[in-house]
Structure 1
Amino acid sequence: MSNLYSPLPRYIQNSQVAKNERPPPVSETTRKFVPKFVMGSIGSTSKDPAKIYATKIKDKVMLLDNPLKSSEEKKKRIILKKKVKTMSAKEKRQTRTYEIPKECHKYELFVPLHELWLQYIEELHGKSNPNIFGQKLLKADFHGAILTVSKSKCASYIGITGITIQETENMFKLITKDNSMKCIPKGHSIFTFQLRDHMFTLYGDQFRYRSAIRATKKFKNKPSIDL
């Protein structure tokens, strides 16, 4: 049986570790077989396997198997994993991680976001019919959308229009043209937005999910019940 080992590079052969080890014998058949075998293996994925062999494989030490980890290394990894700690929801509220500072409550700052959202929603709509687009809206991102509260059980919310700058599980936060941020509950509210020549309606009660969960959730067809 032929030996498949090829000679190591000179800098490895001259190292102290290599001198203490006896190199395996390499036959002339092996010297010719290995390059042909490697180039034949990568030939289906590359137009120039000889160039890849010469630049990336020849005279280089390659690890062909995953070495076993020592028990000490495993313990260190476990300790590092335990040290990594994420913030709890309470800590995020206390540090106001997601709070938008008052100096940023300016309508003009979010106009570019609205323009980006228009491009996004146009691509999402494409040439789809109203029923298919309605299903897409359930999973769409509304950061940057200009929403209007058309109906609400709280009369003071009706008529508020603004760019959506933040969405939570139960709330849309809108920035109005007079540079004030309004927090509108999704529950018991109906929102509208305009795209092209059509007006679309969002029933807030059906959107009471976090946007990340809503993007992956499978929705069932339910009748829309007015307020």
Structure 2
Amino acid sequence: MSNGKTNIVQTLLSRAHSPDTAEQLFTERIKYKPLHLRPTSPTPADNRTRRRRHALRKKEYFLRHQKPKPLSAREKRQSGLYNLPKEECKYAIFKELNRMWVEYMREILDLGPGAWRQQNLQNQQLQQGPRALVSALSHGSKLVSADFHGAEIEVVRSRCAGRVGIKGIVVRDTKFTFMVVTEKDVVKTIPKEQTVFRFSVPLPQPNDTTERKDVAAIGEGDEESKELVFELHGSQFQNRPVDRANKKFKWRNVEYI
């Protein structure tokens, strides 16, 4: 047997190898080699913790490989996604958006270049005379499903007298409100309920004398009639723009304010 200062493994190696080889093998393979130990019989609590940890790692793996969950309405409000910076709420900035909206409405109402002249020529061939292209029967459903972001609206009637006369460009169209920016760069939120709004769509400018005569005939000789004016009843318009796209147009009797 070896004494207390010599390891038993060194003693066994010295019997099979030379002293230098035995010392080298003991240093490289035994002395500095880590020995990992684990309990041979883990307790039930350890098994339960290991299963829970394995389930969490499995859940994290599947969550990493899935598409991110969309934010809820409350999370969007808390994150400030719909907040408009004050330095960007300028009437001059949204004026260009209004110009784009006018072109968008002209396409919806079939008021593109030459549309007035083409329709009037067809009416003259049928001996019906010139008449307006836009009517509630033909374009009512298109106006109901239109997007009003960028429209310049004005409150003409309301249960709240303080809102009458407010005019501005729509920067946000929600289910129950219109948020507009006025010419004084003031942002106002106007409820749709019990409120009547007015907006207009300028007619395209005629390019020649023939079309100029047609427009004059349609406007009954009034040169100031260069835009189509509409009134929007907010109580009948309480829908989001994305929901109005597939909504069917229905005739209803409304009570004027």
TM-score strictly above 0.5: yes
Are residues 1:188 and 2:218 paired?
no
Task: Quote how far apart the aligned CAs of 1:224 are.
Answer: 2.5
The CA deviation at 1:187 is 0.5
Aligned length: 153
Deviation for aligned residue 1:189: 0.4
Helix, strand or coil: the match of 1:115? helix
Q: Which of the two has higher C-alpha Rg?
A: 2
Cα pair distance change 1:137/1:83, threshold 3 Å: closer
Match of residue 161, structure 2, among 155, 159, 163: 155
SS at match of 2:154: strand
Q: 1:101 aligns with which of 68, 82, 85?
A: 85
Give the whole-Å Cα distance in 2 for the aligned partners of 1:159 and 1:166. 19
1:97 is paired with a residue whose SS is coil
In structure 2, the partner of 1:214 is: 244
Say which SS state the counterpart of residue 219 (structure 1) adopts: coil
Q: Under a length normalisation based on structure 1, what TM-score does the superposition of the two structures give?
A: 0.63
Matched-pair identity in %: 38
Higher relative contact order (CA 8 A, sep 6+): 2
Stretches (4+) displaced over 3 A: 75-83
- Aligned-pair CA distance for 1:180: 0.2
Contact 2:152 2:167 in 1 (8 A): yes
Q: Tell me the amino acid that sits aligned with residue 134 of structure 2.
A: N
Change (3 A) 1:190 1:80: same
Q: Name the aligned partner's letter for residue 161 of structure 2.
A: A
- Given that residues 193 and 234 in structure 2 are in contact (C-alpha distance below 8 angstroms), is that contact kept between their aligned partners in structure 1? yes
What does residue 172 of structure 2 align with? 166
Q: 1:199 aligns with which of 221, 229, 233?
A: 229
Q: Which one of the candidate residues 66, 69, 75 is aligned to 1:91?
A: 75
Partners of 2:99 and 2:67 lie apart in 1 by: 42
The answer for the alignment partner of 1:117 in structure 2 is 101
Alpha-carbon distance in structure 2 between the residues aligned to 1:171 and 1:159: 16
CA distance in 2, matches of 1:116, 1:124: 13
Paired residue type of 2:77: R
Aligned partners of 2:239, 2:165: CA distance in 1, in Å? 23
Name the Cα RMSD after superposition: 2.0
Contact 2:140/2:249 (<8 A) preserved: no
